[in-house]
Each structure stands twice: as C-alpha cells, then as structure tokens.
A and B are shown apart, each in its own frame.
Chain A
C-alpha cells in the first residue's frame, strides 16, 4: 500500500476558490467515510480541518469544506486568504486499523 495521491501544488488569488483532490483505492478512501484533512504551516504541527469527509471541527472556518466521490476525496477552500497558505494532507482510514496519508499539497496564495 502507498500514500494517497494529491497534486503537489495548487494556487489561487485572494477571494478565489481552490480544490485539492486526494485519490486512493477501493480499500481506503472508497471503503470508508473516514477521510480527514490536515493543514500544516511551516515548522508547525498539523491541524485537523475536516473529518469524516465533510465535518468541520469547532473553530475551523466554514470556508473549508470536504467531499468524496468513489475513491477520490476533495478539500475546497473558498474565499482564499493569505493565512490559508500552507501544506495540506488528506488521510484515510484503511482498516486493520491503519491510516494512509496523502502525498501533500502546497497551497500558494498569489
């Protein structure tokens, strides 16, 4: 088993919306509604942004939303802001138990 596939980078201008994809297999993303997304600023610990595909933890902006179709999950950031510039990782439960993380996406605010 290998990491989930994410685009290496995504960019957008302030106020725009961007979407990050996360492609797995029928054994992980496709089998469980247990996909989460983490934001990581340089030198900092990851922070949970989305869990169980679509849910937002308390305190996370509603500009962040998640979805899933088949073996691919997606994170959408609407109304892009400078503070959203960071690395983003998806993560899926894969049974056993075990987790697979995505390869990571660097979001740049132009």
Chain B
C-alpha cells in the first residue's frame, strides 16, 4: 500500500519561511507526479503546487507563485515544499498527494495525513 508521510509543519511568524517534507514509500516514486494541496481551518481544499515525476516541470497556484517552491529528490523518495514570505492566509493543513501518472492532470490518490502550518505573530 502506498504511503505518504508529511512533516515540517509548525508555527511561524508572518514573513518567515518553512520547509515541508513528504516521505513516499511502496511505489516507484520517480514515475509519478506529486502535488501539494492545502486546507485552511474550517475551509475547503486548495491545490497549491505540482511537480512532474522527473522534477523538471513545476506548477503553482497564483496564490503562492513566487513565494513557494516545490522540489523532489527521487533518490530519497522525498517531496518538498519550500515556503517563503509566509502570510497569515497561508495557515492551513498541507497535504501531499500522488498523481496517477508522470504528469499532473488526472487524480490525486492517495493523500498523506497532512501537516499543520500556522502563520501568526
């Protein structure tokens, strides 16, 4: 069974930085695109970013473009999200999710358990 385990969340001040990690196991990691999706407290889901299986192509929601950077280390089966210039509105549970192919376009399955990021002074 595919496993995804996020880490790195926590409390950070506005303007600060945080790096999220997602450890993947039990599938050929480099063959699949990956995405980050977030959910603000009591709110709906928002797609944040995606990366192709090779890592050469990256994509971002307008709300995080220029502030967040998605990356992956296929040798370690790890996905990352570097978050800079954090804002209060970035407060959310961040989920990593596996795509169905090498390209992000179809479905997200499965999802990790999420990691909570709180941006507050």
Contact = CB atoms under 8 A, between A and B. Distances in A.
Interface stretch (B7-15, B18-26, B43-51, B81-89): B43-51
Interface in A23-60: 34, 36, 38, 45-48, 51-52, 57
A48 B108 contact: yes
B113 A98 contact: no
B27 interface: no
A102 B100 CA distance: 20
Contacts of B104: 97, 99
B107 interface: yes
A46 B95 contact: yes
Nearest to B50: A97
Interface stretch (A11-19, A74-82, A88-96): A88-96
Given A45-B113, A46-B95, A98-B59, A51 B44 contact: no
Contact of A46 (B59, B61, B105, B111): B111
A104 B95 contact: no
Interface residues of A, number: 24
Chain B contact patch, size range: 20 to 34
A99 B44 contact: no
A38 B103 CA distance: 20
A64 interface: no
A110 to B, nearest CB: 23
A86 interface: no
A34 B106 contact: yes
Given A45-B114, A98-B59, A51 B46 contact: no
Contacts of B113: 45
Contacts of A89: 44-45
Nearest to B95: A45
Interface of A: 1, 3, 34, 36, 38, 45-48, 51-52, 57, 89, 91, 93, 96-104
Given A38-B108, A46-B111, A97-B59, 5 more contacts: A3-B46, A98-B61, A99-B47, A99-B108, A101-B44
Interface of B: 35, 37, 44-47, 50, 59, 61-62, 95, 100, 103-114
